[in-house]
Amino acid sequence: AVLERDGAPLLLIDCGPETLTRYLDAYASVPRAVYITHVHMDHVGGLERLFYRCYFDPALKGKVRLYVHAALLAHLQSRVADYPNVIAEGGANFWDAFQLIALSRGFWHEGLWFDVFATRHHAPMTSFGLALRGSFVWTGDTRPIPEMLAHVAAHGEIVAHDCALVGNPSHAGLDDLEREYPAELRSRLVIYHYNSVADGATIAARG
């Protein structure tokens, strides 16, 4: 997902294997800032390719911001950044290509404060959503999180929420959202991560 301001890209959320291709198609430039929700490979598998685009371009090297919760750093290091000799010639660290910004409660980006909050996806403290007060909430992959949304979505924010037709231990399902969230909050949900157009139509028909 890409957060835009005045039609221009402001912040890329996650970087999966095909993300950079789609981003370049849409904006004809490399993302200048990326927020990572969690480190499953469908969300970070494109960082190696982004490394090469940035590392060998003097205009980009060390300038693309990578916002990562401190609790994810060790996981991200082991999954993406720890491969020996990130370039064949040696002499390079994976993180040389980026401006790595570790965070906990949130972060400033382009004059805006973004709140960061824990979600429920696999193990505790391994997945984090994103919120801009008065504007939007992005849950990332999650089970229902009513206690978190009562706090970060308390000012009329649009809430982009993970939801499939049927939930599982890692992702919310439609029945989960109907059970856990009040009608007013459900009216502000924008659902994503469902499996098909037909599933999306079924979810929409349920309100």
pLDDT at 75: 98
How many Å apart are CA 93 and CA 19, to the nearest integer? 22
**What residues pair up with 109 in beta bridges, in sequence order?**
112
Give average pLDDT by consecutive 10-residue segment, the chain, 207 residues.
97 98 98 98 97 98 99 98 93 98 99 98 96 98 97 98 89 94 96 85 83
pLDDT at 142: 97
Q: In what order do the strands lie in the sheet with 64-69?
A: 2-5, 8-13, 33-36, 64-69, 98-103
Q: Which residue has the tokens 């978190």?
A: 148
Q: Residue 136: how many CB atoms within 10 A of its CB?
A: 16
Q: Which domains does the chain have, with CATH numbers?
A: 1-104 (3.60.15.10), 111-207 (no CATH)
pLDDT at 207: 73
pLDDT at 193: 80
pLDDT at 195: 76
pLDDT at 168: 83
How many Å apart are CA 41 and CA 99, to the nearest integer? 21
pLDDT at 202: 85
| Amino acid symbol at 126 | T
**H helix count then E strand count, the chain:** 8, 11
Per the structure block, which two tokens stand in for 68?
A: 């990562």
The pTM of the full predicted model, rounded to 2 decimals, is 0.95
pLDDT at 80: 96
Give, as one character, the DSSP assignment of residue 179.
H
How many Å apart are CA 174 and CA 166, to the nearest integer? 6
pLDDT at 28: 98
pLDDT at 79: 96
